[in-house]
Amino acid sequence: MSPVTKSLSNTVLLALFLTLIPLLHSKALALDTTMSSLSLIDTINVASNETDFHALLAFKSNIFPEYQQALSSWNESLHFCHWEGVQCGRRHQRVTVIDLASKGLTGSLSPYIGNLSFLQELSLYNNTFIGEISTELGNLFRLQDLNLSINNFEGNIPTSLSHCFNLRYFSAGQNKLVGEFPKELAYSLPRLITLNVRLNNLTGGIPPSIGNLTSLQYLNVYGNSFGGSIPNALGQLKSLSYFILSDTQISGTIPPSVYNLTLLVRLSVADNLLGGELPTFGFMFPLLQILQLSNNEFNGSVPLSISNSSQLVQLELGFNYFSGKVKNDFGNLHLLSLISLRFNNFDPRGSDGLAFLSSLTNCSNLRGVGLEESQFGGILPNSVGNLSNTVFLMTLGRNQLYGSIPSTIGNLAYLQTLGLDHNLFTGSIPGSIGFLRSIQRLSIANNNISGLACSAESPKDRMSINIALQELHLVKKNILKVNMDS
Ligand SMILES: *[C@@H]1O[C@H](CO)[C@@H](O)[C@H](O)[C@H]1NC(C)=O
Ligand SMILES: *[C@@H]1O[C@H](CO)[C@@H](O)[C@H](O)[C@H]1NC(C)=O
Ligand SMILES: *[C@@H]1O[C@H](CO)[C@@H](O)[C@H](O)[C@H]1NC(C)=O
Ligand SMILES: *[C@@H]1O[C@H](CO)[C@@H](O)[C@H](O)[C@H]1NC(C)=O
Ligand SMILES: *[C@@H]1O[C@H](CO)[C@@H](O)[C@H](O)[C@H]1NC(C)=O
Ligand SMILES: *[C@@H]1O[C@H](CO)[C@@H](O)[C@H](O)[C@H]1NC(C)=O
Ligand SMILES: *[C@@H]1O[C@H](CO)[C@@H](O)[C@H](O)[C@H]1NC(C)=O
Ligand SMILES: *[C@@H]1O[C@H](CO)[C@@H](O)[C@H](O)[C@H]1NC(C)=O
Ligand SMILES: *[C@@H]1O[C@H](CO)[C@@H](O)[C@H](O)[C@H]1NC(C)=O
Ligand SMILES: *[C@@H]1O[C@H](CO)[C@@H](O)[C@H](O)[C@H]1NC(C)=O
Ligand SMILES: *[C@@H]1O[C@H](CO)[C@@H](O)[C@H](O)[C@H]1NC(C)=O
Ligand SMILES: *[C@@H]1O[C@H](CO)[C@@H](O)[C@H](O)[C@H]1NC(C)=O
């Protein structure tokens, strides 16, 4: 028998068996021969809990002895319902939960696991299981939560899991799984809420059938070798909050249907070969907190409607071909912590390339501003000094910025990294630079700076200039190198 027919027939048998129990009961009551029927039920119970007992022993015997410490309570002096990580249903004394997360277990997953027919939750998260994921898991039609993440499971994701039609959470991230994601899974798991296969080596494209997982809220396939494109059908996942497809070798464009996923909290497709323009006004995700589009081939202008995602915390658009002027008003993004527009092709003409900086002054949690090597032109507005003093990293290097460095920059008291190098700045370095007490990396090289502003009259100013001179010394030694996009 193929594993599929085997597991199906097991399921059918069990279902028959369960419907038999009440029948036996009523018949027994009618005949008033409770004794015989009870003993029959007892036999059934014994048979079943013995099955669980043997299945658990088989599970244990597949763990290498030197890695079994966490299972020392798994011995006959204790009923198996009290073994470490095991929970049973109160009525039937059958195993319903196995939670062995982070127990240092090394070994393979016994096929006997498929005999624990009352199992609802299996977590082997963060151990060192090797070998394949047992196809017998497909027998566990009551299974709701399967967590195999952070192990060394190899081979394919078993197609038999499609029989676990009660599955809500499936997580097999950070293993060594290969092959295609079985399209059958997507047809038959209508209750699936979480699908996490991040950091494996799955190939063969992201199957469009995933669009059938209509309960899905969390989709994380980050770090696989899928290739292909983003299936249009993913736009059917109306409940989706997390859309994480970064680093999956996908190309093409973001299909318009994705812009219909208005509940998205995180949209991450960084490190792919995606391209094309994003809709100027149709990029509407009111709940979005994390937007990661870095390191693709997106072009056209930065969508204006991003400014309506008022919950945004991380905005990462670096390493693309975005062009034109950044005309966004970010003043509505009060929670913004990181904005990265670095390595793009903006329009350097005119003096207002960085005009949008003023709107960032409302972002009181701002920490990182990455704008280097993006062909920004124009002046650095005085309003830079009105950015939140939570900013610790600001990189403006390798652009076409001109005019003087505004002295207001000294307001950013907690700045640790400031990159202004390779621009067309003129004038002198403002003495207020000395107020940047936290500075660790300051880069001003390759400009037309004539020296340090020296109009110090008060002792305070003189002190700041002294510090500035020390910093200047630092400048000569340091080459700014930071990496913000991940
Ligand atoms: C199975 O259940 C029966 C009846 O409840 C009990 O006597 C027996 O000890 C149980 N066996 C195991 C291994 O738990
Ligand atoms: C069996 O489990 C109990 C309960 O954890 C423990 O006290 C006992 O040492 C174990 N026995 C063996 C032989 O490991
Ligand atoms: C994984 O388990 C080990 C103990 O075996 C623990 O030290 C580590 O913190 C765990 N890691 C995670 C990510 O849970
Ligand atoms: C349990 O599972 C194993 C392996 O899948 C199988 O050989 C065995 O017959 C099953 N049944 C019982 C009652 O243990
Ligand atoms: C897997 O288990 C870990 C540790 O308990 C937990 O943080 C994670 O949310 C679980 N994943 C799923 C999908 O249940
Ligand atoms: C992933 O699989 C592909 C094709 O089977 C192979 O070429 C590649 O080396 C694998 N990558 C890793 C990181 O194992
Ligand atoms: C499942 O997805 C496929 C591919 O998108 C589609 O053709 C099929 O109609 C879907 N089936 C159901 C039941 O939604
Ligand atoms: C977006 O959703 C609306 C309403 O459900 C639907 O009419 C439209 O076709 C969808 N657009 C795309 C591109 O899927
Ligand atoms: C963006 O790239 C596509 C090809 O990938 C091209 O057709 C389109 O004209 C480009 N748009 C802009 C604004 O450069
Ligand atoms: C922001 O949302 C409002 C209300 O939906 C809309 O009128 C406005 O055009 C949007 N602004 C942008 C820049 O998309
Ligand atoms: C800053 O926020 C206030 C209050 O939410 C708002 O009225 C103002 O327009 C915002 N400023 C900018 C520059 O967007
Ligand atoms: C910066 O803030 C100060 C005080 O809140 C205000 O007076 C000034 O106009 C602002 N400057 C700019 C350029 O926004």
Is the distance from the beta carbon of residue 73 to the nearest atom of ligand 2 less than 6 Å?
yes
The predicted pLDDT at position 282 comes to 84
What pLDDT was estimated at residue 472?
A: 52
| Closest ligand 9 atom to Cα of 321 | 14
User: Can you give the pLDDT at residue 187?
Assistant: 85
280 φ/ψ angles, rounded to the nearest 5 degrees: -60, -45
Can you spell out the DSSP letters for 365-377? T--EEE-TTS--E
Measure 317 CA to ligand 5 centroid, in angstroms.
Answer: 30
Atom of ligand 2 nearest to the CA of 76: 1
Query: Cβ–Cβ contacts within 10 Å for residue 400, how many?
Result: 16
225 alpha carbon – ligand 12 mean position (Å): 49
Taking CA atoms only, the protein residue closest to ligand 3 atom 13 is: 126
> Nearest Cα to 400, choosing from 354, 343, 348, 437?
348
**Residue having the nearest C-alpha atom to atom 3 of ligand 4:** 112
Ligand 4 centre and the CA of 218: distance in Å? Answer: 34
Which atom of ligand 10 is found nearest the CA of 304? 13
Alpha carbons 84 and 358: distance in angstroms, whole number: 58
Q: Ligand 7: does its nearest atom lie under 6 Å from the Cβ of 209? A: yes
CA-176 nearest atom, ligand 6: 14
Ligand 11: centre distance to CA 30 (Å): 78
Residue 276: phi and psi, rounded to 5, are 85, 180
Please give the pLDDT value at position 45: 54
The residue whose CA has the least distance to atom 7 of ligand 1 is: 46
pLDDT tens, the chain, 486 aa long: 333 333 333 333 333 333 333 333 333 333 333 334 444 444 455 567 789 999 999 999 999 998 889 999 999 999 999 999 999 998 888 999 999 999 999 999 999 999 999 999 999 999 999 999 999 999 999 999 999 999 999 999 999 999 999 999 999 999 999 999 999 998 889 999 999 999 999 999 999 999 999 999 999 999 999 999 999 999 999 999 999 999 999 999 999 999 999 999 999 999 999 999 999 888 889 999 999 999 999 999 999 999 999 999 999 999 999 999 999 999 999 999 999 999 999 999 999 999 999 999 999 999 999 999 999 999 999 999 999 999 999 999 999 999 999 999 999 999 999 999 999 999 988 888 888 888 888 888 899 988 655 444 444 544 554 555 555 545 444 333 332 232
Write b or e for each residue in 171-187: b if 16 or more Cβ atoms lie within 10 A of its Cβ, otherwise e.
bbbbbebbeebbebbbe
What's the pLDDT at 144? 98
